[in-house]
Amino acid sequence: MPTTTINKLGHRMGARGGRTRQALMNAGSTLLRERHFGAVRTADVALAAGVSPASFYTYFSAVEDVVLALCEAATEDCNALARHFQGDLAGERAVAAARAYVDDALAMWRTHGHALRIEHMLADQGHAAFADSRIRRLRRLHLALERRIAEARAGGRQPEGLDPRLASYQVANMVESMADGFDLLLRADTAEAILDTTAHMVVRLTTGR
């Protein structure tokens, strides 16, 4: 996970400052799991973290900044998803790799989804910082998917009109959408059916098989 060493006042943080910042992030994470984003105030985060409201502004400008920090913390788990597309995807190995990707994406969403939903919402509303956060978070996965889709197109398994870069975005979006709506999907089908179907769709879109 990236480590922030400078606070909002431009001062270098020591160990104590790092612990305070992390306490604010932990408190914000808990509150965002319990409440709607709009109902969480800076004072609530400070109180939950056991620091003064003034101390909050030493590390963050607003609750939105806490969300951005939580999304940054999710980047390591998002980066790890790319490894599923770096090996041999011939035959049934493609299905196994895609299923592992889908399983890990769901686990990642269970851990970070409360922050990533806000990232999605504010990015879709045109907030540049959150759009940039989403791009950075998914860059490694997008590149891994794009390479596989480009290989499939070069091998004649995908149509010439399919753009590998745009297709990589769609694959990642599809899997995040599944993870976000997983509990709702469970009302209509089993977990295995949802995960297997998503994995087969990933294989089809990335390898053309």
> What is the domain partition of the chain in residue ranges?
15-61, 65-207
Which numeric CATH code is attached to 65-207?
1.10.357.10
Which numeric CATH code is attached to 15-61?
1.10.10.60
pLDDT attached to residue 1 = 45
pLDDT attached to residue 10 = 56
pLDDT attached to residue 195 = 98
Which residues are CB-neighbours of 101 under 8 A, at least 6 positions away? 81, 84, 85, 175, 199, 202
Q: What is the pLDDT along the chain (209 residues), one digit of tens a residue?
A: 445 665 565 556 667 778 999 999 999 999 999 999 999 999 999 999 999 999 999 999 999 999 999 999 999 999 999 999 998 888 889 999 999 999 999 999 999 999 999 999 999 999 999 999 999 999 999 999 999 999 999 999 999 999 999 999 999 999 999 999 999 999 999 999 999 999 999 999 999 98
3-state helix, strand, coil in the chain (%, to 5): 75, 0, 25
Give dist(CA 170, CA 160) in Å, integer: 17
pLDDT attached to residue 13 = 64
